[in-house]
Protein backbone atom coordinates (compact mmCIF):
# COMPACT_ATOMS: atom_id res chain seq x y z
CA UNK A 1 0.00 0.00 0.00
CA UNK A 2 1.16 3.58 -0.57
CA UNK A 3 2.65 5.33 2.44
CA UNK A 4 1.69 8.55 4.18
CA UNK A 5 2.69 11.43 1.91
CA UNK A 6 3.96 14.70 3.34
CA UNK A 7 5.21 17.87 1.73
CA UNK A 8 7.36 19.83 1.68
CA UNK A 9 10.30 17.81 2.93
CA UNK A 10 12.22 20.88 4.10
CA UNK A 11 11.23 24.47 4.78
CA UNK A 12 13.22 27.46 5.97
CA UNK A 13 11.36 30.62 6.95
CA UNK A 14 12.02 33.76 8.93
CA UNK A 15 10.34 34.29 12.28
CA UNK A 16 6.90 35.86 12.08
CA UNK A 17 6.31 34.37 8.64
CA UNK A 18 3.65 31.74 8.00
CA UNK A 19 4.07 28.18 6.77
CA UNK A 20 1.80 25.28 5.85
CA UNK A 21 2.41 21.53 5.75
CA UNK A 22 0.37 18.99 3.85
CA UNK A 23 -0.36 15.34 4.62
CA UNK A 24 -2.14 12.61 2.69
CA UNK A 25 -2.79 9.53 4.86
CA UNK A 26 -3.13 5.88 3.95
CA UNK A 27 -6.37 5.24 2.10
CA UNK A 28 -9.02 4.00 4.51
CA UNK A 29 -7.26 5.25 7.64
CA UNK A 30 -9.86 7.20 9.55
CA UNK A 31 -7.50 8.65 12.13
CA UNK A 32 -4.80 11.20 11.34
CA UNK A 33 -2.21 12.64 13.71
CA UNK A 34 0.20 15.55 13.56
CA UNK A 35 3.28 15.32 15.79
CA UNK A 36 6.00 17.85 16.52
CA UNK A 37 9.48 16.40 17.06
CA UNK A 38 12.10 18.80 18.37
CA UNK A 39 15.67 17.71 17.68
CA UNK A 40 16.81 14.98 20.06
CA UNK A 41 13.36 14.44 21.58
CA UNK A 42 10.42 12.12 21.08
CA UNK A 43 7.46 13.24 18.98
CA UNK A 44 4.71 15.13 20.78
CA UNK A 45 1.11 15.03 19.60
CA UNK A 46 -0.24 18.33 18.31
CA UNK A 47 -3.63 17.23 17.02
CA UNK A 48 -5.61 14.07 16.30
CA UNK A 49 -8.45 13.84 13.77
CA UNK A 50 -11.07 11.13 13.50
CA UNK A 51 -12.39 11.46 9.95
CA UNK A 52 -12.76 15.26 9.71
CA UNK A 53 -13.47 15.87 13.40
CA UNK A 54 -10.91 16.85 16.05
CA UNK A 55 -10.42 14.27 18.80
CA UNK A 56 -7.55 15.85 20.71
CA UNK A 57 -5.92 19.25 20.23
CA UNK A 58 -5.01 19.88 23.85
CA UNK A 59 -1.32 20.45 23.06
CA UNK A 60 -1.81 22.56 19.95
CA UNK A 61 -0.71 26.20 20.48
CA UNK A 62 -3.94 27.58 19.12
CA UNK A 63 -2.78 31.18 19.07
CA UNK A 64 -0.44 30.34 16.20
CA UNK A 65 -1.14 26.79 15.01
CA UNK A 66 -4.18 25.62 13.10
CA UNK A 67 -5.06 22.39 11.34
CA UNK A 68 -7.85 21.09 9.22
CA UNK A 69 -8.78 17.84 7.57
CA UNK A 70 -11.07 18.42 4.65
CA UNK A 71 -13.47 15.63 3.72
CA UNK A 72 -11.75 13.32 6.17
CA UNK A 73 -8.77 12.69 3.88
CA UNK A 74 -5.94 15.22 3.37
CA UNK A 75 -4.85 17.49 6.15
CA UNK A 76 -2.94 20.76 6.43
CA UNK A 77 -1.13 22.16 9.45
CA UNK A 78 -0.40 25.89 9.50
CA UNK A 79 1.79 28.05 11.68
CA UNK A 80 1.22 31.81 11.70
CA UNK A 81 3.31 33.59 12.86
CA UNK A 82 6.27 31.26 13.32
CA UNK A 83 8.66 31.54 16.26
CA UNK A 84 12.22 30.30 16.58
CA UNK A 85 11.07 27.52 18.96
CA UNK A 86 8.85 26.09 16.22
CA UNK A 87 11.96 24.71 14.51
CA UNK A 88 11.30 20.96 14.48
CA UNK A 89 10.26 18.02 12.35
CA UNK A 90 6.52 17.80 11.81
CA UNK A 91 5.38 14.22 11.40
CA UNK A 92 2.04 13.09 10.07
CA UNK A 93 0.72 9.61 10.85
CA UNK A 94 -2.46 7.67 10.24
CA UNK A 95 -4.00 4.57 11.76
CA UNK A 96 -6.68 2.14 10.62
CA UNK A 97 -10.12 1.90 12.22
CA UNK A 98 -9.24 -1.37 13.95
CA UNK A 99 -6.11 -2.80 15.47
CA UNK A 100 -6.05 -5.97 13.39
CA UNK A 101 -3.45 -4.47 11.10
CA UNK A 102 -0.18 -5.46 12.75
CA UNK A 103 1.51 -2.30 11.58
CA UNK A 104 -0.95 -0.02 13.30
CA UNK A 105 0.32 3.46 12.70
CA UNK A 106 1.99 4.56 9.46
CA UNK A 107 4.20 7.63 9.53
CA UNK A 108 5.23 10.01 6.80
CA UNK A 109 8.82 11.14 6.34
CA UNK A 110 8.09 14.46 7.99
CA UNK A 111 8.79 18.09 7.19
CA UNK A 112 11.88 19.64 8.71
CA UNK A 113 11.10 23.27 9.56
CA UNK A 114 13.85 25.75 10.35
CA UNK A 115 12.83 29.18 11.62
CA UNK A 116 15.60 31.80 11.41
Smallest distance, Å, CB 18 to another protein?
23
Rounded CA-CA distance 7/46 in Å is: 17
Per-residue contact track with another protein, 5 to 44, x per CB under 8 A? --------------------------x-x-x----xxxxx
The one among 79, 110, 113, 115 contacting another protein by CB under 8 A: 110
Of 20, 22, 47, nearest to 34 by C-alpha is 47
E strand residue ranges, the chain: 5-7, 10-13, 19-24, 31-37, 44-50, 53-56, 65-68, 75-79, 88-95, 106-107, 111-115
Secondary structure of the chain: what % helix, strand, coil (to 5)? 5, 45, 45
Q: Which of 56, 62, 83, 114 touches another protein by CB under 8 A?
A: 56
Is residue 56 within 8 A of residue 74, CB to CB? The reply is no
By CB under 8 A, what part of segment 69-98 binds another protein?
Answer: 89, 91, 93, 95, 97-98
Question: Binding residue for another protein (CB under 8 A) from 36, 87, 112, 116?
Answer: 112
53 binds another protein (CB under 8 A): no
Contacts with another protein by CB under 8 A lie at 31, 33, 35, 40-45, 48, 55-56, 89, 91, 93, 95, 97-100, 102-105, 107-110, 112
Amino acid sequence: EAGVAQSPRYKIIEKRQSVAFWCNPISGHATLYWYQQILGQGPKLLIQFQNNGVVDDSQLPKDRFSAERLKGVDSTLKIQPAKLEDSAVYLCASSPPRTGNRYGYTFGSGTRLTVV
